[in-house]
């Protein structure tokens, strides 16, 4: 008597459950299509335009992010170092080189789930184009480490894998098709004292 309604309810719950889980995992997997990779840095230039794909729009809505307009800025994310190894907060890294031309840039660390790391108020949780100490020819070295470092230091918490986010603001490269020719800073592991 209740067998057919029970089977229908079970089939619907499985269908909806699998659909929801697959949709959420697809949104977590990627920001969208059209990614460019410059060494360890990855950006989605089309994710910020009106021509973006539905996955990028859904990812943006789910994360609650306001993205920059086509010529306003471009955000690069790195989850690996220049040798292709995953970034670990138990290790220290040097970010060295130069950024593409931009009026201003920022750099900060996030957890693997893209949530910004909460650092003690007296520690440097981010750095930018105005505060970074530069070497000759505008190059720089930024030490990313859970342990205090001299000069440019970006503090991170020991919490497993993490990502680095480099945002270029008011940059001609945001609307350029020549993104592949850009020079991006290298990310080099300098040691893992507790590994």
Residue 181: per-residue pLDDT: 64
Q: What is the mean pLDDT of residues 1-11?
A: 81
For residue 145, pLDDT beyond 80: yes
pLDDT > 80? residue 92? yes
Interval 64-81: pLDDT, tens: 666 666 667 788 899 999
Order of all β-strands in the sheet with 126-128: 36-38, 41-43, 73-78, 162-169, 104-111, 126-128
Give residue 87's pLDDT band: very low, low, confident or very high (50, 70, 90): very high
Edge-to-edge strand list for the sheet holding 153-155? 153-155, 140-145, 92-97, 186-191
Residues 40-62: tens digit of each pLDDT: 998 877 666 666 666 666 666 66
């Amino acid at each position: 008597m209740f067998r057919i309604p029970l089977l229908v309810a079970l089939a619907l719950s499985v269908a909806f459950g699998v659909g929801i889980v697959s949709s959420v995992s697809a949104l977590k997997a990627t920001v969208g299509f059209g990614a460019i990779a410059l060494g360890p840095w990855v950006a989605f230039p089309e994710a910020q335009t009106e021509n973006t794909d539905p996955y990028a729009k859904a990812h943006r809505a789910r994360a609650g992010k306001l993205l920059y307009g086509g010529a306003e800025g471009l955000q690069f994310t790195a989850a690996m170092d220049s040798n292709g190894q995953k970034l670990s907060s138990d290790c220290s890294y040097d970010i060295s080189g130069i950024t593409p031309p931009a009026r201003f840039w920022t750099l900060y660390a996030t957890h693997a789930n893209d949530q910004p790391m909460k650092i003690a108020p007296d520690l440097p949780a981010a750095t930018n184009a105005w505060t970074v100490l530069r070497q000759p020819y505008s190059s720089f070295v930024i030490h990313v480490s859970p342990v205090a470092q001299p000069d440019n230091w970006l503090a991170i918490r020991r919490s497993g894998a993490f990502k680095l986010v480099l945002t270029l603001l008011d940059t001609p490269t945001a609307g350029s098709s020549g993104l592949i020719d850009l020079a991006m800073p290298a990310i080099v592991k300098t040691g893992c004292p507790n590994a």
